[in-house]
Amino acid sequence: MIRRFETYAFLPGTSPEARRRLAEVLGHCHRHVPDVIYNAVGWNLSDAPAELAWEHAYPSLESYRRYMVHPYHADLIDRYVLPDSPERVVEAMTGAGLFGYHCDEPSFLLAPGQARRVVLLRFAPAQPGTDVGAQADVFAAKAAEASKAAGALSSVLGANTLANTWFDGETPHGPPPKWSHVWEQGYARLAAMEQRAPATGPQWLERAGVERFRELRYEVLEPA
């Protein structure tokens, strides 16, 4: 399974109607592309340079590749996000990013009205003899325990393999990603996340061996 995120910052002067339109186009993707098995959008509440977050999932590489060439992708999504489109409403670079990971099951699932915290992270340099995979395993166990104590519904960690394999889901393009891993938590409500997520905030991340991180927080929406 492929778990995928895109984040967007809007061009200066973009109207509220145009912002809502992009959110609707992204949020309706699963209704037009059968290969998208989970799909939602949310307005970022953190200080990261991104306003709109789009999260989605695909059951296989083949389904992901069909999405990439689907007319809905080319005719609607690309119309608003590609740098060479005259109808583009998002920044070409600042605030925009694509990342994601491969997983065996959709343990990340949330319903509309629930809340998501996504942390892009890079681990501190490992001790001699310790690889990043081992660091990630240790972190995942700590994160699951801390998330449960904080009242989170879920805690999922994945290697950020999609950031530089976005075209087909497996072939690397360009340098390694800036962020090595994606950690996401789910909460029943936005208020609960805002109240309890700080228990796994910057100080906790530092103690858990994270060198750098960037965080997104939003309520999971499904446009009507």
Identify whether 91 is part of a domain. Answer: yes
Instruction: State yes or no: pLDDT of 28 exceeds 90.
Output: yes
pLDDT in tens, 78-124: 999 998 999 999 997 666 689 999 999 999 999 999 999 999 999 98
Instruction: State yes or no: pLDDT of 165 exceeds 90.
Output: yes
Roughly how many angstroms between the first and final C-alpha of the chain, as a whole number?
26
Domain of residue 153 covers 2-219
Identify whether 224 is part of a domain. Answer: no
Identify whether 189 is part of a domain. Answer: yes
Identify whether 108 is part of a domain. Answer: yes
Instruction: Quote the pLDDT of residue 94.
Output: 63
Identify whether 192 is part of a domain. Answer: yes
Into how many domains does the chain fold? Answer: 1
Of 81, 57, 86, give the one whose Cα is nearest residue 220.
57
The span from the CA of 23 to the CA of 65, in Å, is: 22
Where residue 129 falls among pLDDT bands split at 50, 70, 90?
A: low
The span from the CA of 178 to the CA of 161, in Å, is: 11
Mean pLDDT of the chain: 94
Q: Which amino acid is at 72?
A: Y
Identify whether 76 is part of a domain. Answer: yes
Q: What is the pTM of this model?
A: 0.94
Helix (H) or strand (E) holding 73: none
Give the number of residues written for the chain: 224
Write out the E strands in the chain. 2-8, 38-43, 52-58, 97-102, 115-123, 154-159, 181-187, 210-219
What percent of the chain lies above the pLDDT cut of 90? 88
**CATH at 56:** 3.30.70.100
DSSP SS3 for 121: strand
Arithmetic mean of pLDDT, 196-217: 95
The span from the CA of 180 to the CA of 99, in Å, is: 10
